[in-house]
């Protein structure tokens, strides 16, 4: 069995609060992150985050550039569903398409070179958060 399959199985068959490493809040991790990155605009990545609530606590503390990385797609999807950080599934009645930087850049094609990208979380007038990805591209030489 490969590692990704193993962890997907764990997260498919156990509730997030039923695994041995579960804690409702990771106070020690949050405290260390706040010491290392006191500026809430700094980027934070939770490597091996699974279905951890650390990302919830980071967002609640005001961090806006937070990423979670885990080998289990099942865990990542559960976290996305729990947080809903990427905004609504529709915009003005049309389904939205979700991109990461690489995916959005690939839409431009090989004729363009990615120079810079940024992610921004926008609060909509209705009070929900919506994520935007910006790509600055130039025509390739």
Report d(CA 117, CA 101) in Å as an integer: 7
Pairing type for strands 43-47 and 65-69 reads parallel
Sign of the alpha-carbon torsion through 75, 81, 86, 91 = positive
Burial class (CB in 10 A: 0-12, 13-18, 19+), 55: buried
pTM higher than 0.75:
no
Whether the pLDDT of residue 92 is over 70: the answer is yes
What pLDDT is attached to residue 47?
Answer: 92
What pLDDT is attached to residue 128?
Answer: 66
Report d(CA 79, CA 36) in Å as an integer: 24
Least confident of 6-10, 19-23, 83-87: 83-87
Q: Region 16-30: what's the mean pLDDT?
A: 89
pLDDT digits (tens, 9 = 90+) for 104-131: 888 888 899 999 998 887 777 766 667 7
With bands split at pLDDT 50, 70 and 90, how would you rate the model's confidence at 86? low
Whether the pLDDT of residue 62 is over 90: the answer is no
Q: Region 25-38: what's the mean pLDDT?
A: 94
Top-confidence residue, 62 or 32: 32
């Amino acid at each position: 069995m490969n590692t990704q399959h193993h962890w997907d199985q764990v997260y498919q068959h156990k509730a997030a609060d039923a695994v041995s490493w579960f804690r409702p809040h990771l106070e020690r991790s949050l405290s260390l992150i706040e010491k290392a990155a006191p500026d809430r605009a700094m980027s934070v990545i939770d490597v091996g985050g699974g279905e951890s609530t650390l990302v919830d606590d980071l967002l609640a503390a005001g961090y806006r550039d937070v990423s979670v990385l885990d080998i289990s797609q099942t865990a990542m999807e559960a976290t996305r569903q729990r947080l809903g950080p990427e905004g609504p599934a529709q915009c003005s009645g049309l389904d939205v398409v979700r991109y990461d930087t690489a995916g959005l850049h690939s839409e431009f094609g090989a004729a363009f070179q990615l120079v810079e990208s940024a992610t921004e979380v926008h609060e909509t007038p209705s009070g929900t958060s919506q994520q935007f990805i910006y790509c600055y591209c130039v025509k390739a030489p």
